[in-house]
């Protein structure tokens, strides 16, 4: 059974209360963010159906939104997702090398997950950190001014968390 935890249900109510009556569909993006965090880092169809039911909208309204925005994962991802920016300003500062290095180090291609399910590598477009390039998003925060050494340290840090 898919069901938000009590605390998340309270949060959902709080979010819906931000909008005028009958406009609860506005809560869709924030609620999908909550769902993705709570249900394993991605949005499976039953999860989206559940979100539709709590917002009292049609499942198709959820699918079309979930498939539009790049932050929603429609497939399972690793425990740690490296989202490396590859747009112009980051490219000028060597993002290509960083992406290559991560590929080699983790032995995966872009869009792939390591066999142990620990890491996924994604390339993304400008994340608004162009002056601190090269950079990646890792969970809630940004890792900036990346170097090979920093990437090594980040990988170690993620592995340490697992133990």
Binding-site member from 16, 34, 55, 127 for ligand FES (CB under 6 A) = 127
Sheet strand arrangement including 136-138: 119-124, 80-85, 136-138, 141-143
Closer to another protein by Cβ: residue 41 or 105? 41
The torsion region of residue 108 among left (phi > 0), alpha (psi -120 to 50) and beta comes to beta
Report the distance separating Cα 142 and Cα 10, nearest Å: 28
Q: Which does 68 bind (CB under 5 to 8 A by kind): ligand FES, another protein, none?
A: another protein
Site string for another protein, 74-113 (x = CB under 8 A): ------------xxxx-xxx--------------------
Q: By CB under 8 A, which span of 4-12, 105-113, 131-139, 152-160 interacts with another protein?
A: 131-139
- 135, 125 Cβ separation under 8 angstroms: no
Least distance (Å) from ligand FES to the CB of residue 32?
Answer: 24
Alpha carbon distance 15, 34 (integer Å): 11
């Amino acid at each position: 059974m898919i069901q938000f935890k009590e605390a998340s249900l309270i949060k959902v109510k709080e979010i819906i209360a931000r909008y005028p009556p009958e406009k609860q569909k506005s809560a869709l993006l924030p609620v999908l963010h909550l769902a993705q965090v709570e249900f394993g880092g991605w949005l499976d169809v039953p999860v989206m159906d559940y979100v539709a039911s709590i917002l009292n909208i049609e499942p198709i309204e959820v699918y079309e939104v979930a498939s539009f925005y790049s932050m929603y994962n429609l497939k399972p991802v690793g425990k740690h997702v490296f989202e490396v920016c590859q747009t112009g300003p980051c490219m000028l500062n060597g993002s290509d090398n960083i992406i290559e290095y991560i590929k080699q180090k983790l032995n995966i291609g872009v869009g792939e997950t390591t066999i142990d399910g620990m890491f996924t590598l994604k390339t993304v477009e400008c994340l608004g950190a162009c002056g601190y390039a090269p950079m990646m998003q890792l969970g809630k925060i940004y890792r900036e001014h990346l170097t090979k050494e920093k990437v090594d340290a980040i990988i170690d840090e993620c592995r340490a968390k697992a133990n």
